[in-house]
Chain A
C-alpha cells in the first residue's frame, strides 16, 4: 500500500478511496467519445476540509487532482489526462440553507440538480432553480464549472450568472469564499466586491467549487410548453427576436432533428410559459401568437405545433440510444441568435457526411444576447467506427464553429486548443498568469485549458 493511498484513506476513510483496477477503469471513461485516461487513485471526500487536505497532499506529491461532479460534460473534462487523483464530489451533497424571502439556497457543490428540484418541490414549491438540459444526476458544482445553462436561461442567463456566492478550495488547499459570505455567513450577493469569478468555465483548473449560493426564481403555479413550427430556417432568428421582445418565455429552444421523419427539416420553437392563473397564461399566449407570430401564420410560413403541453423533464439520455449504441456527444457553441440558419445547415451537412442522423438545438441565453447551439452526434459504443465518425464530426464542427465566429462551450481538449490558438494574445497571457499564480504546481485538472 503506497503512501498516497494511505494518506487518502486517512482523510476520507478506507471505504471512499480506491486504487483498484475496477474503480480506476470506471473513472477512466466518461460518456462521450474521449479515449480512456486512467487516474491512479479515486477518492470521494465528504467535506471541504477533506478536499483541502487532499489538495495540500497532492501539492506535496506534485500529483494531479481532477474534480468530478455528475460526469455529464461528455467532453472528457473530468478525465485524468495526467493521472493522479480523481475526486468524486458527489458525497458533498447537503442542502445547507434555504432562504425563501431572499430567494436563494446554499448547497454543497456535489448535490445533484434532481435533489435540488425535489427539495424545492417539497419545501418551497413557489421557488425554482434552473435545471440544465442534462440528466438530473448532473451536479450544481459541475454545471457551474462548465458555464451550464438550462431552463430560465432566457430571463436570467447562464447558470453561472445565477449564483450569490461560492466556496472554493484553491489549488494550494486554502478554503476561500467569494461574495458576501466572505464577510460573514450571509450568502445573498456576489457584488459589489471586486470580481473574482475565476472558477466558472475553467472546468476545475483553478480550484474546486465546494459550496454554492444558488439563486432561486419564482415558480409559477402553472407551467406549459407551446410550440411554433417553421420550415424555413432563415425565419428562426427574427421569430426569436420577436419572442424575446415579448419577454414572456422562461425558456426558448429551437430543435430540428432528422429522426423521426416527420420532424426532419422542420424547426420546432419550444416556448415555455408560466403563470399563476389561466388568465395570465392566456394573456401571454395571446401576446405571443395573436400579435407577434400572427404574421407567419397568415403567410403560411409558420404554425402552432402545440399549445398548453405539460413540460416534462427532458430525458436527454434517450439520445444515446438512437443508434442502439449507448453514446452521443455534442459540440456546444455560444453564438449570436442570427447564427441559427447557418448552424442548422452545418449540422445537416456534417452529420450526413458521417452517416449520423442530424440533431441540432439552440437555446436563447438572455434576452437574445446569445444562444447555446448544439450539434449532437450519436454513436454505437460497441462499434469503434461509429465512435471515430462521431469524434471526427465533433472536431470538424469545432473548427467550423470558430471559422464562423462562434465560441465553443465546454470544449474538449481539442476545442480548447483551437480556442486558445485564436484567442487575443494578451488575454491568453493573462490566463496563463492567473493559472500560474493560483496553481503554482500545475496540479489542477492538468491537460485542460493549458496555455502553451
Chain B
C-alpha cells in the first residue's frame, strides 16, 4: 500500500547511495554514521535507509518490525548532512523523520520507541517516573524557583530523572551559583523538551510539550534560558519559536565561556590531567557551536587538551540521539558507537573524557565500563570539572 501523504516523495529518490554520508570530514573511514558503524550492512547507512523508506512508501516492500528498527536506528547526528554532496542534503534527517511520522500515524513503532513516547505522554518524561518528582534533582541545593531572575535553568528530562545526569544538572547549578549568576528553575512545572519526541516523528505530542513549556515560560516571565542539554538547547532555539516562544536560549557551556571571559568563574586545577572533548551533535553539527566548550576546557589549569582524530564536524555521535539513549537500538556490541567513541577517546591518551550533554554522559560512561576502561579514563560533564573548584 503506497503512502500517498509522505512529505518528501518529490526528492527521496534523488539519493544516489554513493556513500559519502558515512565518512568524517577527512575521509578517514566509512564508519562515521553511527547506525552503519554498528551494523555494517548497507540497509543501515542513510543511503540504504532512504531507499528502504521510498520502497515502503511506494509499496515495493511492506512494513515490518525490522524496517521500523532500521528507520529508528538513525540517531539524527547530521553526519550525513555534513558529507552528502547533493543539493537536498539538508533534508536527509527530515526525510527519515517524515517516515517516522508515518509510522507514528499508523501505530507501527518499535516497542521501545512506543514506550518512550507513551512515558512522555503520560508522565512528561521518557523514564515513566512521576511528573511531581521532576524538581527532585536539586536535592538540598539551594536552587531558587524561577521568579524574576535573569535566567531560567532548564534541566530537561535526563537532568531531572537520570541519576547520572542529575549529577551534571547539580554541577551546572553549583557552578552558576559560584559565579553569581542570577537564575531560577521551573521545578515540577518544566516538562520534557520534546526534541527527541519530534525526531521520533510524534508531531502532535511535540506540539503539546512545546506549548506547555512555552506557556510556562510566558506565565513565569522567562526571557532567557540556560539549558543543561544540547538537545533542549536545540529544540528551544530552533523549534519553539515556530510554536510562539520568544526567549533567548543558551547552552550552559556558552554561559560558562562568557563567565570565564569576564573573570567571574574560578577554573579548577587538574595538574597532569589529559582531557579530550566529545562534541555533542546537538551543540556541534546541529548548532555549529564548537568553540564554547573548548574555551571552557582550556581554562582548566594544569591540564592538557587532546583532540580526538574525529572532533568538531567529524565527531562520531555517541549513539544516543533521537531517543536512542533510551531505545538502545544501537547497543549490545563492540561496534556500538558509544564503545567505538570511547576507544577513540582513549587513543588520545586522555584520562578524562569531557562531555557537555547528559545523553553523552550516560552513553559514554556506560561504554567505558563495558570496555573495561574505568581505571584509565573517567567520563565527566564539563560542569563537573568546574564544580570541583566551586565547592
List residues of A whose CB falls within 8 A of some B CB.
15-16, 18, 20-23, 25-27, 29, 31, 42, 44, 70-72, 88, 90-91, 93, 112, 114-115, 117-119, 121-122, 135-137, 315-318, 320-321, 324-327, 380-382
A150 to chain B, nearest CB (A): 15
Once the chains bind, are A22 and B64 in contact (CB under 8 Å)? Answer: yes
* Chain B, residue nearest A44 (CB): B40
Q: Are A137 and B64 in contact (CB under 8 A)?
A: no
Q: When the two chains form the complex, which single residue of A42, A88, A122, A135 contacts B18, counting CB atoms closer than 8 Å?
A: A135
Chain B residues within an 8 Å CB radius of A26:
41-43, 48, 51-52
Q: A42-B41, A93-B30, A137-B23 are in contact. Are A25 and B52 (CB under 8 A)?
A: yes
**Chain A residue at smallest Cβ distance from B71:** A22
Name 6 extra pairs, CB < 8 A, besides A44-B41, A137-B23, A320-B14.
A18-B41, A22-B66, A26-B42, A27-B42, A117-B27, A321-B16
A31 to chain B, nearest CB (A): 6
Closest 3 CB pairs of A and B: A137-B19, A114-B27, A320-B16
Determine whether the beta carbon of A88 is less than 8 Å from that of B39: no
Q: Chain B 60-76 against A: per-residue CB contact (8 Å), 1 yes, 0 no? A: 11101011001000000
Residues in B whose Cβ lies below 8 Å from that of A324: 11, 14
Asked if residues A112 and B30 are in contact (CB atoms below 8 Å), the reply is yes
The contact sample of 23 A-B pairs, CB cut-off 8 A, is A21-B64, A21-B66, A22-B52, A22-B66, A22-B70, A25-B52, A25-B60, A26-B43, A44-B41, A88-B40, A88-B42, A112-B27, A135-B19, A135-B20, A137-B23, A137-B30, A317-B86, A320-B86, A321-B87, A324-B14, A326-B14, A326-B15, A382-B13
List chain A residues, Cβ under 8 A from B40: 16, 44, 88, 90-91
Q: In residues 1-51 of chain B, which contact A (Cβ within 8 Å)?
A: 11, 13-20, 22-23, 26-30, 39-43, 48, 51
Any chain A CB within 8 A of the CB of B389? no
Determine if A118 and B16 form an interchain contact, defined as CB atoms under 8 angstroms apart. no
Residue of B nearest to A316 (CB): B18
A266 to B: closest C-beta gap in Å: 24
Q: Is the CB of A31 within 8 A of B85?
A: no
Nearest-neighbour CB distance to chain A for B114, whole angstroms, equals 20
* Interface: B333 (CB within 8 A): yes
Is B55 an interface residue when CB atoms closer than 8 A count as contact? yes
- Determine the chain B residues whose CB is within 8 A of the CB of A121 once the complex forms: 26
> Smallest distance from the beta carbon of B20 to chain A beta carbons, Å?
6
Which of A25, A317, A326 contacts B61, CB < 8 Å? A25
Whole-angstrom distance between the Cβ of A47 and the nearest chain B Cβ = 14
Provide the bound-state CA to CA distance between A15 and B28, in Å.
Answer: 24
In the bound complex, residues from chain B placing their C-beta under 8 Å from that of A381 are: 13-14
A66–B221 Cα gap in the complex (Å)? 65
Residues of chain A lying within 8 A (CB to CB) of residue B85: 315, 317-318
A21 and B61: CB pair below 8 A?
A: yes
Partner of B42, one of A20, A71, A321, A327: A71
Which one, A25, A137, A315, A320, contacts B22 given CB within 8 A?
Answer: A137
A15 CB contacts on chain B under 8 angstroms: 39, 333, 335
- Distance in angstroms between the alpha carbons of A70 and B70 in the assembled complex: 20
With A26-B42, A88-B41 already in contact, the answer to whether A31 and B30 are too (CB < 8 A) is no
CB-defined contacts of A25 to chain B, threshold 8 Å: 43, 51-52, 55, 60-61
Q: List chain B residues, Cβ under 8 A from A20.
A: 64, 66
A326 to B42, CA, bound (A): 17
- Distance in angstroms from A142 CB to nearest chain B CB is 12
Query: Which residue of chain B has the shortest Cβ distance to A27 in the bound complex?
Result: B42
Q: Is A31 a contact partner of B17 (Cβ separation < 8 A)?
A: yes
Per a CB cutoff under 8 Å, which of A18, A31, A136 touches B23? A136
Q: CB < 8 Å: which of B14, B22, B39, B55 contacts A321? A: B14
The answer to whether B27 and A136 touch across the interface, beta carbons within 8 angstroms, is yes
CB distance from A394 to the nearest CB of B (A): 17
Q: Which of A21, A42, A88 has the most CB of B within 10 A?
A: A21
Residues of B within 8 A of A29 (CB): 51
Task: With both chains docked as a complex, state the minimum distance between the C-beta of B266 and any C-beta of chain A, in angstroms.
Answer: 39
A-chain residues with CB within 8 Å of residue B20 when the two chains form the complex: 135-137, 317
Closest to B28 in A: A118
- Inter-chain contact A114/B23, CB cutoff 8 Å: yes
Judge whether B42 and A22 touch: CB under 8 Å.
no
Q: Which of B11, B18, B333 contacts A72 (CB 8 A)?
A: B18
In the complex, A324 Cα to B55 Cα: how many Å?
18
A93 with B16: CB separation less than 8 A? no
Which residues of B in the span 325-375 have a Cβ within 8 Å of any Cβ on A?
Answer: 333, 335
- Rounded to whole angstroms, the CA-CA distance of A276 and B235 in the bound complex is 50
A74 — nearest CB in chain B belongs to which residue? Answer: B16
Nearest-neighbour CB distance to chain A for B73, whole angstroms, equals 11
Residue of A nearest to B23 (CB): A114
Determine whether the beta carbon of A326 is less than 8 Å from that of B28: no
What is the CA–CA distance of A31 and B13 in the complex, to the nearest angstrom?
A: 11
- Note all chain B residues with C-beta closer than 8 A to A325: 13-14
With a cutoff of 8 Å between Cβ atoms, the chain B residues found around residue A18 in the complex are 41, 43
B8–chain A nearest beta-carbon distance, Å: 12
Chain B residues positioned under 8 Å from A21 (CB to CB): 61-62, 64, 66-67
Shortest distance in angstroms between A258's beta carbon and chain B's nearest beta carbon?
19
Task: Say yes or no: A326 contacts B27, CB within 8 Å.
Answer: no
In the bound complex, residues from chain B placing their C-beta under 8 Å from that of A135 are 18-20
Quote the shortest CB–CB distance from B33 to chain A (angstroms): 11
Whether the Cβ atoms of A317 and B16 lie closer than 8 Å is yes
Pair A137/B86 contact, Cβ less than 8 Å = no
Cβ-closest chain B residue relative to A91: B40
Question: Inside 8 A of A117's CB, which chain B residues have their CB?
Answer: 27
Known interface pairs A317-B85, A318-B86; A137-B18 also in contact (CB < 8 Å): yes
Most chain B beta-carbon neighbours within 10 Å: one of A31, A317, A325? A317
